[in-house]
Amino acid sequence: MRIFVTNDDGIDADGLAMLREVMREFGEVIVIAPDNERSAVGHSITLGHPICFRRVIRGGELFGYAVSGTPADCVKLGFCEILKEPVDLLVSGINRGSNLGINAFYSGTVAAALEGTVFKVPSMAISADSYEDVSFPDVGRIMRAILPEILECRKETGWNFLNINIPNLPPEKLVGVRPAQMNCSGFEENFQRHVDPRGNRVYWITGGLTPLEETEGDDTLLIRQGYVTVAPMKLDLTDHEVLKKLNTLDFSPKTRK
């Protein structure tokens, strides 16, 4: 199996190194990642200036390719220019910080995996539920334990895109692994207002990470309960129920009198 590994924390991120190490146990790994941190850039791509990449050598061997662009740029450039042969799987992460609920919309980690599905490649985004004290060795042990079954179940379920979030816990303290739905209730949105030295108003986003509402099965609730959450997602944002209703209406132009 050939595996495309990427992230949004950059080519030097500890999480990327751990992901590469783990995925090498499952097949041949090709790393193509941003040359610097590109967190929270969502699915943005670079249009206003050129993109370039360079080879990164570590320990006398090729570690990967560093791209001067966003996570989505990395995936596009990887598939179109860098990779010489097809890949079987794309894995994005291990992100420092969870990508639960609507945070998935803003996440470069999730966007890279979503871009993989644009190229018809099964993809996973993997994130750790902590921003500062992540134990990547523990996350790596958890991944080694859960990935074989997750990869195997694709034959039965046909998943194309999984958003996986891992609690910041030692493996022995995990409650288990649960399929999850994306919590779409939103988060508390707050801004802290300041004045810069020139008298201009400036703002910092300070909203909390606790969702406004939760129901059983939400990814935000399950991870607090100690579960690894596995949320199946898809590229198609179409509201098919509304589409059915719209198709019953007559939108033909009407002449006004």
pLDDT digits (tens, 9 = 90+) for 175-212: 999 999 999 888 778 889 999 999 999 999 886 667 77
pLDDT band, very low/low/confident/very high, at 228 (cuts 50, 70, 90): very high
- Any domain includes 253: no
pLDDT band, very low/low/confident/very high, at 257 (cuts 50, 70, 90): low
pLDDT of amino acid 214? 80
Average pLDDT for 123-127? 98
7, 109 Cβ separation under 8 angstroms: yes
d(CA 4, CA 78): 9
pLDDT tens, 39-71?
Answer: 989 999 999 999 999 999 999 999 999 999 999
DSSP 10: -
- Any domain includes 26: yes
- What rounded mean pLDDT belongs to the chain? 93
pLDDT of amino acid 233? 96
Give, for 89, the enclosing helix (H) or strand (E).
strand 89-96
Q: For the CA atoms of 32, 34, 38, 44, what is the dihedral angle to 10 degrees?
A: -70
**Single pTM value for the model:** 0.92
3-state secondary structure of 204: strand
Q: Identify the CATH number of the domain in which residue 230 sits.
A: 3.40.1210.10
pLDDT of amino acid 84? 87
- Any domain includes 235: yes
pLDDT greater than 90 at residue 22? yes
- Any domain includes 199: no
Domain total for the chain?
A: 1
Angle of CA points 123, 65, 232, to nearest 5°: 10
The set of residues, in sequence order, having a beta carbon less than 8 Å from that of 3 and lying 6+ positions away, is: 23, 26, 27, 28, 29, 30, 87, 88, 89, 90, 91
- Any domain includes 221: yes
| Residue reference for tokens 């694709």 | 154
- Any domain includes 209: no
Q: Which residues form the domain of 177?
A: 2-181+215-246
pLDDT tens, 137-158?
Answer: 999 999 999 999 999 999 999 9
pLDDT of amino acid 56? 98
| C-alpha closest to that of 2 among 65, 82, 86 | 86
- Any domain includes 198: no
- Any domain includes 193: no
If phi > 0 it is left, if psi is from -120 to 50 it is alpha, else beta; for residue 40 that is left
Average pLDDT for 95-99? 94
If phi > 0 it is left, if psi is from -120 to 50 it is alpha, else beta; for residue 26 that is alpha
